[in-house]
């Protein structure tokens, strides 16, 4: 695998939450209106893990009905799927669109699959589909999913690579994804080189309003003064 994000930025992104990254993207772009984020509440397998950061390895699955293709075709595509997951830039995140959404029933993510993906070097998974085996997932492997269920149903891989949609978030294979209990965002490629600087600027600007607000004797007059300074700091 090839690492195409430097260690300093990677460490920073693992320390800050996804809302911070979402705001920092707007700081980098110099305007509000960033749109590429999830649009519904998602479920997080392990709240104790740091934010999930990695380059997307995408696929589509289905599970409600048995596959119509020959078993040999399904098996070969499944193995090609794992080859795809083991390739590309590091760190990697598996991003899977369940085509049965919003009526997903088959858990692709459980003890076995998280362990296999972790062994292949994948740091976590983002899906609009189902996860199961909570408490038995691979240690350190995060899953952020649309739902929880008991069965794998007829789950099978339909497509590998390409663009997928996870609860309103469009993700192309190779996109940089940041995700935590709030949901997920895709960092635009042109923003990546200045994202660290934008995060730092955002955090410093927030101190302008948070500091006074936490001090004794905070008043509306003090707020108005602090807010003017806060807005100026974010320009």
20: left (phi over 0), alpha (psi -120 to 50) or beta: alpha
pLDDT at 206: 87
The pLDDT tens digits along the chain (235 residues) read 566 788 999 999 999 999 999 999 998 888 888 889 999 999 999 999 999 999 999 999 999 999 999 999 999 999 999 999 999 889 999 999 999 999 999 999 999 999 999 999 999 999 999 999 999 999 999 999 999 999 999 999 999 999 999 999 999 999 999 999 999 999 999 999 999 999 998 888 888 889 999 999 899 999 999 888 887 776 5
Q: How many helices (H) and strands (E) does the chain have?
A: 6, 15
Give the pLDDT confidence score for residue 1 in this predicted structure: 56
Class of residue 190 by CB neighbours under 10 A (exposed 0-12, middle 13-18, buried 19+): exposed
What is the pLDDT, as a whole number, of residue 142?
98
Range list for CATH 3.50.30.40 in the chain: 2-188
> Is the CB of residue 92 less than 8 Å from the CB of residue 125?
no
Q: How far apart are CA 51 and CA 47, in angstroms?
A: 9
Buried b (16+ CB within 10 A) or exposed e, 86-104: bebbebbbbbbbbbbbeeb
Do 59 and 201 touch, CB atoms closer than 8 A?
no
b/e 65-78 (16+ beta carbons within 10 angstroms → b): eebeeeeeebeebe
Q: Which of 201, 207, 210, 211 is nearest to 234 (CA)?
A: 201
What pLDDT score was predicted for residue 36?
Answer: 93
What's 2-188's CATH class? alpha beta
pTM score? 0.93
């Amino acid at each position: 695998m090839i690492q195409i994000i430097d260690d300093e930025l990677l460490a920073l992104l693992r320390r800050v939450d996804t809302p911070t990254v979402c705001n920092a993207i707007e700081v980098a772009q110099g305007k509000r209106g960033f749109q590429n984020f999830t649009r519904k509440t998602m479920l997080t397998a392990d709240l104790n893990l740091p934010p999930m950061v990695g380059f997307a390895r995408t696929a589509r699955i289905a599970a409600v009905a048995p596959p119509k293709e020959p078993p040999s075709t399904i098996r070969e595509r499944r193995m090609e799927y794992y080859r795809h997951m083991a390739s590309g830039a590091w760190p990697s995140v598996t991003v899977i669109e369940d085509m049965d959404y919003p009526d997903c029933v088959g858990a692709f993510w459980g003890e076995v699959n998280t362990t296999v993906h972790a062994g292949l070097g994948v740091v976590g998974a983002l899906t609009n589909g189902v996860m199961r085996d909570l408490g038995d997932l691979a240690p350190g492997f995060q899953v952020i999913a649309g739902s929880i269920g008991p069965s794998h149903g007829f789950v099978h891989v339909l497509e590998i690579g390409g663009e997928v949609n996870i609860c309103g978030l469009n993700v192309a294979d190779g996109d940089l994804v940041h995700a935590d209990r709030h949901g997920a965002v895709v960092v635009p490629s042109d923003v990546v080189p200045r994202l660290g600087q934008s995060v730092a600027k955002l955090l410093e600007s927030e101190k302008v309003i948070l500091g006074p607000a936490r001090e004794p004797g905070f008043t509306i007059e003090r707020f108005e003064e602090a807010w003017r300074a806060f807005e100026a700091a974010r320009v």
